[in-house]
Amino acid sequence: MLTLAVLIPLLASAVLALVPVRDARTCRIGATAVTAVAFALLLAVWAVAAPTEGYRAVAEVPWIPSLGIAWRVGVDGMSLALGLVTAVVFLAATAWPVSVPRARAFYAWLLFLAGVSIGLFVTLDLIVFYVFFDLSLVGMYFLIGRWGHGDAQHAAVKFFVYTLAGSLLILIGIIVLALAMPELTFDMR
């Protein structure tokens, strides 16, 4: 269910970006439905596997086994709470009737950001976490640059550069941490 909560908004984002929908209301309703599904999936995880200690709803698929990298998702109490809050925020953001130019692209980027943001909180692999973190920068860059106010382009570039610099420090920390382990793994459990 956690994998679906991440992938459904990402796939819907791609579909919305590619399908020629001109009506802003249709885009908003579709994006709201998708974020509602992601929220419902996270609620279902909470209802079925409410974490008391340790990780629940864990799913793992090897990605690059030689490096110990895998698609690992699971939640503890904190990550599930943060995932639910994230889903609520994006549900509210997509449901709010706002008039924006290029609504299809706007809602596609919102769905993209929703998927990677939920992914940040449910992943149990440091490399996948890092990928989601950097992908969130891309989504925020476009949302700030295209729909921000004032000097939006300058703000978007400045945000991206500073956050990317911090992201590179995170990558260095991840590599140092992985090399310090007795066995090469990026598993956060």
pLDDT of residue 50: 64
Q: Is 126 within the bounds of a domain? A: yes
**What are 75-89's pLDDT values in tens digits?**
988 999 999 999 999
Higher-confidence position of 178 and 30 = 30
d(C-alpha 130, C-alpha 165), whole Å: 13
pLDDT of residue 21: 81
**What are 31-46's pLDDT values in tens digits?**
999 999 999 999 999 9
Going 31 to 131 to 39 to 81, the CA torsion angle's sign is negative
* pLDDT surpasses 70 at 162: yes
Type of residue numbered 68: G
- 134 by Cβ neighbours in 10 Å (0-12 / 13-18 / 19+) ranks as middle
Q: Is 97 within the bounds of a domain? A: yes
d(C-alpha 83, C-alpha 80), whole Å: 5
Which one-letter DSSP state was computed for residue 54?
A: S
CA dist list (Å): 1 to 6, 33, 67, 123: 9, 17, 26, 13
Q: Dig out the tokens for 170 from the structure.
A: 């995170």
Domain holding 149, by residue range, is 2-180
Dihedral pair phi/psi, residue 18, rounded to 5°: -95, -25
Q: Is 32 within the bounds of a domain? A: yes
Prediction pTM value? 0.92
**What are 49-61's pLDDT values in tens digits?**
766 678 888 999 9
* pLDDT surpasses 80 at 158: yes
Q: Is 87 within the bounds of a domain? A: yes
Q: Is 186 within the bounds of a domain? A: no
HSE at residue 145, side-chain half, CA atoms within 13 A, is 15
Of 25, 30, 39, 24, the C-alpha closest to 12 is 30
The torsion region of residue 59 among left (phi > 0), alpha (psi -120 to 50) and beta comes to beta
Q: Is 189 within the bounds of a domain? A: no
Q: What total number of domains does the chain contain?
A: 1
Place of tokens 């995932």: 83
pLDDT of residue 51: 60
| Cβ–Cβ under 8 Å, residues 119 and 28 | no
Q: Is 98 within the bounds of a domain? A: yes
| Cβ–Cβ under 8 Å, residues 189 and 124 | yes
Q: Is 169 within the bounds of a domain? A: yes
